[in-house]
Structure 1
């Protein structure tokens, strides 16, 4: 997949609307019962950050970003202001934030994940685009040093240890992250309200698999 490792300007995506979607196939049987199934193992997110009345410089920045991505051709990073940390948005990122795996004495690479819980049910979301410099990792209630005990692949969201964690030990991580997205329209519509301000009514983006 073609991807530019650059983030859409976060100050312009602030206030965007959107969130996760899932595809569910529903068959209604003759007796009124339903059979439900999903071809998606993971959710997908959509957002729309229509830029209201802004300076013409802001509008120009959106157009430049769209053109540099060649419209829908290249994906990019997007900050979801409602869900961008391994912990709750109001809390500080800590290395104990998420359990990303358990040591087996052989595995050295672990995928960053964020687990969503409601009651007894959970969903483990792979995190592919952590924010560079934000990842903290630990084991046994001890934070480890990046570059010494582990390295982070910020393009894939994977942590690699210099030595495999011992069997049964929980590997934990905390981080901020972006969502890999592409533009969901082939055109950007702009309008100029006056000599100093303009608007972009819709900036629709959709999450992509990486």
Structure 2
């Protein structure tokens, strides 16, 4: 019995000293991993969020998107989306990619246990939440010589949510073809894509 107690004490002491002696970088890595896990939903949580998009509030930054700051985009390739988001952030606007506690929240690669069909529904769900939280003036960044596709998440999900929630006064149509032009006065863009009280615009 004495041997058993002594062995337990020695084992505990060895484990404690090993943890304390671990390099700070190793402990920081463990802490970062724990934080990352807590900021990315599990497959079960993904299904819960799809069923009830209001629960995304637990994963989003408080107060985001701020009033008059939300942008929307549609029908874009990855490189174009990055350009739009970078432009928006540079002028003080925000996107569905920017409102989460984890910067990787929207990225497909973070959801290893989620199949493609479920992740697509997950995208629709967090887009629903984003549109629901949008207030005041919203900004559609899209070429003015084209029409948003009816099959896109913006037209089929986000726009419906914006119209039904009645929190958005208007959606200004920022010409995507001009956002790299430093002389483009996007804040005073006169083209309105949709305004409260109007019918839903036709999709392509």
Query: Between Structure 1 and Structure 2, which shows a larger proportion of helix residues?
Result: 2
Same fold (TM over 0.5): no
Question: Could you tell me the TM-score, scaled by structure 2's length?
Answer: 0.26
Question: Could you tell me the TM-score, scaled by structure 1's length?
Answer: 0.26
Larger radius of gyration: 2
Query: Greater relative contact order (Cα 8 A, min sep 6): structure 1 or 2?
Result: 1
Query: Between Structure 1 and Structure 2, which shows a larger proportion of strand residues?
Result: 1
